[in-house]
Amino acid sequence: MNTLEITKDTPHNKLEEKAKKTQLSGSQAVLEALIAEGVDTIFGYPGGAIMPIYDALYDYNDRLKHILVRHEQGGIHAAQGYARTSGKTGVVFATSGPGATNLVTGLADAMIDSNPIVCVTGQVFAHLLGTDAFQETDVINITTPVTKWNYQVTDASEIPAALAKAFYIASTGRPGPVLIDITKNAQLQLFDYEGYTLCHHIRSYRPAPIIRKSYIEEAAKLINQAKKPFVLFGQGVILGKAEEEFKTFIEKTGIPAAWTIMGLSALPTDHPLNVGMLGMHGNYAPNVLTNECDVLIAIGMRFDDRVTGRLDKYAKQAKIIHLDIDPAEIDKNVKTTVPVWGNCKETLPLLTELVAETQHEEWLQKFRMLEQEEINTVITTELQPSEGEMTMGEVINILNELTQDDAVIVTDVGQHQMVACRYARFKQSKSNVTSGGLGTMGFGLPAAIGAWYGAPERTVVAIIGDGGIQMTIQELGTIMQFGAKVKILILNNQFLGMVRQWQQLFHDKRYSFVNITSPDYTTVAQGYHIPGNRIEDRSNLREALMEMLAHDGSYLLEVMVGRENNVFPMVPQGSSVSEIRLK
């Protein structure tokens, strides 16, 4: 800011020549870049090393909305939530040192879940780099393994190109988080601004591999010969904006399709070919039948170990077709018969064209039969218990009914996450926001704030455990200050439930440090001027949920659920998916 002032005060310097060119400070260039990239919302937290950018932001207030979070981790999870519901790139500001290191968990989360995020961090003056200056940390090296790309700017003139690259890399190909670290001198420095050019090409960067027709032909041949084909889909369908292409493909081929929690909501829940959730706490039928299908078609999913269970016993009988934009995913975990490289928005229509119109009624019937078994053993008692303690499932069930399957559901991590993913019903894509790959407790509340900014016209419900809420509970302050209309539903089982379930099943019920007490959440919410309620009795559940949803604004509802309820079915760790336990 000082430099700006000084030049203003000395107008006789090189008079005209200077006047012709637009001089901007590095900080202004950052904000111009954001505007040029179509950014409207920034999540952040200021500090000494990023003060010039915040100072410039003061003048951009009309064009850029800044949401002051209460912790940088909250900032990046909010940006992730924003990215997931809006389909746009989330932006985060943080200061150097502790500000930047507080982003690391969120970066790792965004990296593994392929969220497009651009973080701008302040850094100490360039001449102080490497001297252990106040609040200096080696942010670039700390964040290298958890970013798709990062870069340190030490000169203002580099800023437009660096940010253009950042947005391009974050949002293209397999998306991911990018971090730009800007030294304080570069933020302050004035330079001749020649406008902002969007980046469309980087010599060394191939966002998407070249599509090979021969593989698509081979894949089509396998699909046409298949008697028991089975589709597994993941977030790639959503990231590729390929929901329609995907639906057309499965409808033409009549292939049953099951989803990973990251792919959830890409296909409406009530679609006749939607056969449920894969993986450790997924549905019975898709897990069992994975080891019976003859052709397995994986679309935009990465065979995470929570999905596959024991790899040496995973779908050994099947020919495997894997559609993915990231060539490194192919063969990484599961050996592929035919790889189909590319964005599934492009590859699926090519494949659809070559496959025969089919119905696999008999095969589909198998899914229905096993589903019925699961309904009888697990689902009915979970969703419609007639007595005893409240279950997480019945809460979700009533929520579905009241929101008409049309809410954005954000979850934290634990039993409630698995229950919510299993039972929440969706009409639209981009409606499920969860921390899939990293399983980050504390994700839910801030991600819900971001999710609401990404889709402010929708009802956003954050479903969080009594453990996870306490990890980032300070973000209630952000909700209070900025009026994000987030419905917070705490499912309180008075335990770190998921860990307790494992202890019960695999550690002889030795409940070591999973007993967690909670504050009086409604009082806490009240302190933040957020209305709330707590219920312990089934007879109040529906009404309490109705009140929460009807309230115009944020609301906190705590529901006391069964202390030792378990999430079933379950594939025990180290077992094959077909050994899934119904109880």
Ligand X SMILES: Cc1ncc(C[n+]2csc(CCOP(=O)(O)OP(=O)(O)O)c2C)c(N)n1
Name the site residues for other proteins (rule: CB under 8 A).
126-131, 140-141, 144-145, 148-149, 151-152, 154-155, 157-158, 161-162, 165, 169, 183, 199-205, 326-328, 331-332
From the candidates 23, 125, 135, 218, give the one annotated as an active-site residue. Answer: 135
CB nearer to ligand X: give 484 or 496.
496
Structural contact between residues 46 and 58, judged by C-beta atoms closer than 8 angstroms: no
Q: Report the alpha-carbon distance of residue 309 to residue 303 in Å, rounded.
A: 9
Helix, strand or coil for residue 232? strand
From the candidates 498, 501, 548, 558, give the one annotated as an active-site residue. Answer: 498
- The piece of 251-259, 361-369, 459-467, 476-484 that touches ligand X (CB under 6 A) is 459-467
CB of 310 to ligand X, least distance (A): 21
CB nearer to ligand X: give 108 or 323.
108
The identity of residue 575, as a single letter, is S
CB of 502 to other proteins, least distance (A): 26
Task: Enumerate the β-bridge partners of residue 464.
Answer: 490
Non-local (6+) Cβ contacts of 87 within 8 A are 241, 430
Binding mask 462-481 for ligand X (x = CB under 6 A): ---xxxx-------------
From the candidates 72, 374, 382, 394, give the one annotated as an active-site residue. Answer: 72
Distance of CA 147 to the CA centre of its chain: 15
Task: Enumerate the β-bridge partners of residue 555.
Answer: 487
Going by the DSSP 8-state scheme, the letter that residue 203 receives in this structure is T
Q: Report the alpha-carbon distance of residue 466 to residue 52 in Å, rounded.
A: 39
CB nearer to other proteins: give 161 or 549.
161
Residue written as token pair 């209070």: 480
From the candidates 184, 228, 366, 487, give the one annotated as an active-site residue. Answer: 184
Q: Report the alpha-carbon distance of residue 533 to residue 552 in Å, rounded.
A: 15
**Region of residue 461 (phi > 0: left; psi between -120 and 50: alpha; otherwise: beta):** beta
CB of 528 to other proteins, least distance (A): 41
Q: Where are the alpha helices (DSSP H) in 172-283?
A: 184-188, 213-225, 236-239, 243-253
Out of 441, 525, 544, 548, which residue is the one contacting ligand X (CB under 6 A)? 441
Is 134 a catalytic site residue? Answer: yes
**Closest C-alpha to 292, from 190, 382, 357, 365:** 365
Out of 493, 533, 565, 578, which residue is the one contacting ligand X (CB under 6 A)? 493
Is 72 a catalytic site residue? Answer: yes
CB of 201 to other proteins, least distance (A): 4
CB nearer to other proteins: give 131 or 376.
131
Out of 52, 229, 497, 569, which residue is the one contacting ligand X (CB under 6 A)? 497
Q: How many CB atoms are located within 10 Å of the residue 416 CB?
A: 30
CB nearer to other proteins: give 157 or 503.
157
- The piece of 215-223, 338-346, 437-445, 504-512 that touches ligand X (CB under 6 A) is 437-445
Task: Enumerate the β-bridge partners of residue 461.
Answer: 409, 487
Out of 87, 439, 477, 572, which residue is the one contacting ligand X (CB under 6 A)? 439
CB nearer to other proteins: give 327 or 439.
327
Is 135 a catalytic site residue? Answer: yes
- The piece of 146-154, 256-264, 276-284, 411-419 that touches ligand X (CB under 6 A) is 411-419
Strands 65-68 and 41-44: parallel
Q: Report the alpha-carbon distance of residue 496 to residue 395 in Å, rounded.
A: 19
Q: Where are the alpha helices (DSSP H) in 113-212?
A: 139-143, 159-171, 184-188
Q: Identify what 365 binds: other proteins, ligand X, none; CB under 5 to 8 Å per kind.
A: none
Contacts with ligand X, residue ranges (CB under 6 A)? 412-416, 439-442, 465-468, 491, 493, 495-499
Catalytic residue ranges = 72, 134-135, 184, 498
